[in-house]
Amino acid sequence: MKSTVDRPAAGVHYEEVDPDAAGQRLDNFLLGRLKGVPRAHVYRLIRSGQVRVNSGRTGPAHRLKAGDRVRVPPVATRPEAARPAPEGLGWLTDRILYEDKRLLVLDKPAGMAVHGGSGINLGCIEAMRVLRPETELELVHRLDRDTSGCLLVAKRRSVLRALHELLRTGRVEKQYLGLVKGRWQHGDTEIDVALTKFHRGAAHEVRADRTGKPARSIFSLVESYGELCSLMQIRILTGRTHQIRVHAAHAGHPLAGDERYGDPAFNERMAALGLRRLFLHAQTIGFVWPESDETFTVSAPLPPDLGRFLERLADGRLPAQERI
């Protein structure tokens, strides 16, 4: 078996932020330049103060400005793993919902991470870069690994900046479909509960915390299936990590198949009926382009496995005690 040897660490160097990189987060800026360095290590470098912007310490989410001077410490990296052949990723091209010169929208499959890291060699963005090596592709936002549906990918840095500004100012509308435990009896409900991210071992989790970051979701009933579960349309007004999952659990109606924040007994009943994943799908995303006032909206169809599961529920193939 061929062994790999770490490349020697280079000395400290400084990078000046050019106009194309203005508005980018510090962590993403570094990840684009420190190829092969794990994301977790990049975060440690920032938090320990080894990375500085204009001689000052800052956090991973700091937005860079043109002309900023970034101190990059010496980092030993491993050779990048061999990239898969584009031929093996052609199926992902078939999942492109929309594409023009500015962006593409991918119907992300459940079970595939949006980016590599933490033991994942290839995420959606890395795969798309293999398929489109001539195009500069950047993730506009993220979806949980087990969530399917609309994922925005910018094809130019200026587009990435514009879409990030829309996201920061709440001008991107994102709607999801989710199946929750029990009969929803609250009508259209806005859940305005702040959230805090914390680490538990190697993983991070999120909890409701009034001292956390503001988070708002609107839950609307689509259909109830007896007392067992309810299909909800969920519109998020903020974009916090695990927001829908934590808000649903906080409301007493955890998402079906949610192994982190859900109800284990309910998940077992759902699995017995054929559900094999988290029932959360990013159905629609839309916004207005700031320069042209052009309305942009795209939707991802419900995946066949979730559609078949809903058909089973609608056909009344439920345990007798779960029926209306």
Q: Which residues does the annotation mark as catalytic? A: 144
Please, what are the domains in the chain?
Answer: 13-72 (3.10.290.10), 86-159 (3.30.2350.10), 172-322 (3.30.2350.10)
Beta bridge partners, 225, equal: 229
pLDDT in tens, the chain (324 residues): 333 434 444 578 898 988 877 888 898 888 878 876 777 788 889 988 999 999 999 998 899 998 999 999 888 655 455 556 666 788 999 999 999 999 999 999 999 999 876 555 688 998 999 898 888 899 999 999 999 999 999 999 899 999 999 999 999 999 999 999 999 998 999 999 999 988 776 567 899 999 999 999 999 999 999 999 999 999 999 999 999 999 999 999 999 999 999 999 999 999 999 999 999 999 999 999 998 999 999 999 999 999 999 999 988 755 544 443
